[in-house]
Structure 1
Amino acid sequence: MAVPGVPEVPRITGRLRQRVGFWRSFASALVVTWILFGVPLTWIAGPPPSRFSANAPSALAEAEFVSEAVFGLVQSGAAEEWLTQPTVVSPLAVAYRDMGPDKPPKKRLIWNGRYVNSFIVVQKFKYESLAIVRDLLFWQGSLWSFDLTSGYHHVELHQDFHTYVAFSWQERFYVFKALPFGLAPAPYFFTKITNELAARWRRQGAGLVHYLDDFLFIQRPSGRPFAEEQTAVLRDVEDTVSTSVVKLIPKYRGGVYSDGMRFAYITSVNLC
């Protein structure tokens, strides 16, 4: 499905599997298995019965945007077209985010997996706490960060479950080959995998906290040279995912720290 005038999207899905040798050097056997074969879904009491759900009016009203978004999913490898109807076809919708005065709202394609999610066991887990930052801050230390674009789409879904994670658009059927935004256990799988990277960098002496695809590094002035740490971390990122889908230019975050109050914040001017 080509969309005239829309640039091609870098292929994301499958990149981790291509770099499985790198992951084997430090990751758990479970995570390596996920990378090789895709993450599995666990049913509460069996898979969901067949169901087709029509797309939301918001998707139909934004047909050009949705076509471009679907094209991007296919180009990146996160989704593929099927010639036959999948078992569960979930609806698409478009959400809008207010970007402030004098700016048009930002559109986002939404895959509504509410029906299939009701059949899935969702594992409980904890995100890293921002309290970690408090314990890592140092006077005259440096803060830098990067984030992974389309993070979920790096994690492949086991092929046995593709038929349950699907959608339709313009009389064509598509299945997700990677974790879609909206699949209930997606944060669990993604966090388990990125935790392995975070643990690797901590063993190398880095101070960091991460939430899903956002990584914030807090560097002590007496520690590893700033450029050396950045180079080592970003080399790992390049070995793991496509560099074209990672914001590889670290941003200085202008951290402000009060030693007496054990309080820190990132100045707003650097968040734009």
Structure 2
Amino acid sequence: MEKLKIVIKKYWKIYLAALVISAVCDLIGTVKLNIGVGTLTLFPMVFAVIFGGLLGPDIFKVFKTEECKIGGSLVLVVLAPFMAKMGISSGANLAKLVSVGPALLLQEFGNLGTILLSMPLALLLGLKKESIGACYSINRDSNLGLTTDIFGPDAPETKGTFAVYIVGSVIGTVFISILASVVASWNIFDPIALGMASGVGSGSMMTAAAGTLGEIYPQQAENIMIMGGASDMLTGITGIYMGTFVGLPLAKKLYAILEPKIGRKNNQEVK
């Protein structure tokens, strides 16, 4: 209890800012914009991330870097009740999960499709071996540990993974919530399929995407959360094996094929 009082006294600005930002963003509500390729739906969470970033050490400097790190760690605390509710809902709807079991398992192979898109872009942007670590997965905690273990902490592959890890931590939830709203506006995918696609292996990103889809399809909100949670759980379990035995070898092979053709000249070779 004494430690809790010390923490509250030291970081009271964070709690106050969170309360004010939450109230302001709730008043703003949901904003929908037609951007040509679809409807861009901005939810209060997106505005909260933007406002929070403006208060950081790089712009208005209301908060120091240490305080920002504390704020980031509190995200897991806030998500914990939601994740528990999602787990209970998944257990109560086990029959639904079983009925789409093969699809949940096969969707993990769909995650590998991003390698085919991201690798050429990375090479065109000038990345070298960093592209292998950056492109083979969504690059969350387990993936960072995997590339560090395989290539070493100072390897370019690990640097690529770490770069995407940082970017994903900063704008991942905003990006995926916007992406979910745009894709949903196309009306070509089933809401349940979109919910399954939300389970990319990051709890916060899954929550952002599934929450956005739940707002767009309120009649399917519960099922979207159930499928998203189950998909995210399976991705977390199988993702490390998929990355080790499929993702990384595929990224290395694709790098070896594409780098001489579209990459900038260098003397590096894939080991």
For normalisation by structure 2, the TM-score amounts to 0.28
Higher helix share: 2
Higher strand share: 1
For normalisation by structure 1, the TM-score amounts to 0.28
